[in-house]
Structure 1
Amino acid sequence: MTVSRRAFAKLVTAAGAGALGAGAAAAPATATVDTWTTTGTTVSALSAFDDAMKSFMQARNIDAGQLAVTYQGRLVLARGYGHNSPMPIQPTSLFRVASLSKSLTAAAVVRLAQDGKLSLGDPITKFLDLTPPAGQSADPRLAKVTLWRLLQHTGGWDRDLTAFDPVFKDRIIADALGVPMELTHSDVIRFMSGQPLMHEPGSTVSYSNYGYLLAGRIVEKVSGLPYETYVKQKLLAPLGITRMGLGWTVSRHAGEVGYRSQYTGPTVLDNSGTVVDAPYGTFSIHIHDANGGWLASAVDLVRWATAFDTGSPVLNSTSIGRVFAVPSPTGVNADGWYYGLGWAVRPVTGGTGRNTWHTGSFAGTYSILVRTYHGMSWAAVFNQRDDESGLSYAPIDSALWTASRAVSSWPTHNLWSTYFA
């Protein structure tokens, strides 16, 4: 496994990197009065977290953010933050979370295995029709793409070598197939079934949104339910999570924030070529459902993270072991981490023996979810990933780790009942 952590950060936060293309920059919004608002319970012992979020958001002119923190199984902080925001950002406001969705999709497949509906060693060809367009041939190595390999990003697709992430190439696929936009999952699968794999399956780690698109279709095929319905029923409901759901490309759910980007681009929702704000139509949330389509609040995300704790009502110990298993033969990379099933994993000494995390990014979205080896977790979400300052969003990772180390005494309260029935 040769992908560095820096490269991984680029990969897992680039769920939406291809959506902008050569879109033009829109005029940035400006505020005449600088205001900072917070919602949720103030916890003085955890003020370092509030300070980290304020500094991060103000430097990048982010107007909506959220943070939730757990310690030893207790929800100790749940906050909404607004910087010149037109409306208060609540701890329960919904945000697109982009590639954090992959942990849900991987867990859905693992749950199906737990229930005896499939085996992770099954080839994807057992479940999916991978018939290519007329006149093209399918790569025979597709039969070697198992569910393990699909979810560990070792299926053989490589967007870096091809500069082609199919979930962001709507126009190319529509033109090649002679179909109108908005594309369907079947359109993307038919097109990609005629494309050669770039690597022998199992040999190389290369982040693949397309692989998770396929995983979502396998969940539907095996369960007999729509992907969203299965996830809600089998994974979220047992944890008391009711707010989460798949997002919409243009419309917003009740309680969902608006999204900001300095970029525009042509819509992929039809063939009109209309130029739209990047978060609202330069990519299709419908296509991205299983690799990046979920909405959540930060408190929902840290609640979801408990699905991977001992005693989980969702996944048993065997399933959790599968999620965090070291991929074979690629193993742990030179930077000391590997990609499990929907999570990045860094083996460490003590506690659970691992830190696990994922990030997500679309035009208008940046998110991070972290589970630490010694019993903490946190999630932060924002309603943009770019601004005129050009600052990276990756430093939120180290900023929140630094905030956690600044806590001298963790509070004993538990806020779960405030946000979950």
Structure 2
Amino acid sequence: MSTLQQQVESVRNAHGVPALGALILSSTRVLEVALTGKRRADEETPVREEDRFHIGSCTKAMTATLIARLVDAGKLRWEQTIGETFPALKSEIREAYHAVTLEQLLLHRGGIPEDRAPDPALMLRLRALSGDMQTQRRQALVAVLQREPAAPPGSQMLYSNFGYMIAGAIAEQATGEPWETLMRRWVFNPLKMRRVGFGAPGKPARKPDQPRGHLGQCRTPVEPGPLADNPPVLGPAGTVHCALRDWAKFAQLHLWIAQGKRTALLKPETARRLHEDPYKQGYSMGWGTVSRSWAKGQVLMHAGSNTMWYALAVLAPALDRGWLIVTNCGSDAAQQACEQLLHELAHP
């Protein structure tokens, strides 16, 4: 057992999570990776390095990257508004939202109410939607934007999963293709991310083919299915799952960008815009932005959870290092396990 495996296993045991994994990367290669534990808490099948973990809101940086690529391709504009994109829906949504721009949505400044603890009635309504994903997202957009803004659009940051869903819907309207297809074509395939998908990974089976998410105190596994993730319409805000090495390819792209290096995927000015924090709010497009002495400067970070999984991504450009940490439980203990492991790895 490697030193990293020993660290991961020690933290996993201390917090009682079914499985825990960590990957350490530089901008050019994966340095170390280790996973320990079980796919299901009540079953002995061990996790493997190629297993897929749900990364929740860490999806947001991927959606922002998709939008950036579509901007470079001339299919979208940062200042494009909800009203001009969906003229047929303007009569169904609050007028205050008509002028909200794509950039504002990605910076959580669209005025949409903060929704880290979403309205249960609205979530049930979203689960009941029918039709293809593009149709469902347009229906969901109307359901969300019929409600009063929580603040004048553009005036303050209000963390909004629905804002990212609407950004995804704008990309769909501009291209005629669902967000899921766009993600594969414009982000996953160019980065050669193969072990990646949407929703809870795997198929229902007595012997788990992939890790299962867990509820409660990490003792209640949830088989893949409609209730194993948030409603699919929220995909652009947080339904991606992937293996650690595949996620690392995306993280390396952003570490490269944060170091001011050119990438074949994005124009330099577009790439820079993804990490800018023009309002000094501690958040850019899909990344939390903070300054840390141990990192010798800026850190890009984001956590993700659908309450059944927990994931954490941290990039330190000045150190040329990144850390990706995952577990198949969404409890407080799972969050504590990921944060403790990050602390041990980033502060050896």
Task: Give yes or no for contact 1:152–1:327 (8 Å, CA) kept in 2.
Answer: no
Aligned with residue 292 of structure 1, among 238, 242, 248: 238
Mapped partners of 2:127, 2:246: distance in 1: 36
RMSD of aligned C-alpha atoms?
Answer: 3.3
Question: Given that residues 196 and 246 in structure 2 are in contact (C-alpha distance below 8 angstroms), is that contact kept between their aligned partners in structure 1?
Answer: yes
Give the Cα separation in 2 of the matches to 1:250 and 1:361: 18
Amino acid at match of 1:75: V
Partner of 1:212: 164
User: Which runs of structure 2 are paired with 1:263-342 in the superposition (5 Å)?
Assistant: 280-282=225-227, 283-308=229-254, 309=256, 310-328=261-279, 331-332=280-281, 338-342=282-286
Alignment map for 1:18-417 (pairs within 5 Å):
42=2, 47=3, 49-82=4-37, 86-128=44-86, 131=89, 138-159=93-114, 165=118, 169-171=122-124, 184-248=136-200, 251=203, 256-262=210-216, 280-282=225-227, 283-308=229-254, 309=256, 310-328=261-279, 331-332=280-281, 338-347=282-291, 353-373=297-317, 374-386=319-331, 391=333, 393-394=335-336, 396-406=338-348
Q: What is the one-letter code of the residue matched to 2:307?
A: A
How far residue 217 of structure 1 moved from its aligned partner, in angstroms, is 1.2
Q: Output the amino acid matched with 1:236.
A: F
SS state at 2:322 partner = strand
Change (3 A) 1:316 1:349: farther
Output the CA distance in 2 between the equivalents of 1:130 and 1:142: 14
CA distance in 2, matches of 1:215, 1:384: 28
Greater Rg by CA: 1
Greater helix share, structure number: 2
Please give the secondary structure, in 2, of the residue aligned with 1:302.
helix
Equivalents in 2 of 1:262, 1:164: separation in Å?
17
For residues 165 and 108 of structure 2, what CA distance do their matches in structure 1 show?
12
Q: Measured at CA, do residues 174 and 105 of structure 1 come closer, stay the same or move farther in structure 2, by a change above 3 Å?
A: closer
Structure 1 residue 51, shift from structure 2 partner? 3.9
Pick closer, same or farther for the CA change 1:173–1:255 going to 2, 3 Å. Answer: closer
Offset of residue 110 of structure 1: 1.0
Gaps of 5+ in 1: 1-37, 264-275, 333-337, 407-421
Which runs of 5 or more structure 2 residues have no equivalent in the other structure?
A: none
**CA offsets 1:76-115 (integer angstroms, 9 cap, x no match):** 1122211566212111101111111111111111111112
Q: Which amino acid aligns with 2:286?
A: G
TM-score, length of structure 1 as denominator length: 0.70
Taking structure 1 as reference, are residues 225 and 281 closer, same or farther at Cα in structure 2, changes over 3 Å only? closer
Are 1:159 and 1:206, in contact at CA under 8 Å, matched by a contact in 2? yes
Post-superposition offset of 1:193? 2.7
Q: In structure 2, what is the Cα distance between the partners aligned to 1:181 and 1:237?
A: 27
CA distance in 2, matches of 1:59, 1:280: 30
2:290 maps to a residue whose letter is R
> Residues 22 and 35 of structure 2 are in contact (CA less than 8 Å); yes or no, is this contact kept in structure 1?
yes
**Distance in 2 (alpha carbons) for counterparts of 1:342 and 1:382:** 21
Q: What corresponds to 1:11 in structure 2? A: none
Q: Provide the identity percentage.
A: 20
C-alpha contact 1:173 1:188 (8 A) present in aligned 2 = yes
What are the Cα deviations for residues 36-63 of structure 1, in whole angstroms up to 9, with x where unaligned?
xx7xxx3xxxx2x434422332123212
8 Å contact kept, 2:109–2:158: yes
The CA distance in 2 between the partners of 1:360 and 1:195, in whole Å, is 26
Query: In 2, distance between residues paired with 1:205 and 1:244?
Result: 30
Letter in 1 for 2:249: R
Count of aligned residue pairs for this structure pair? 332
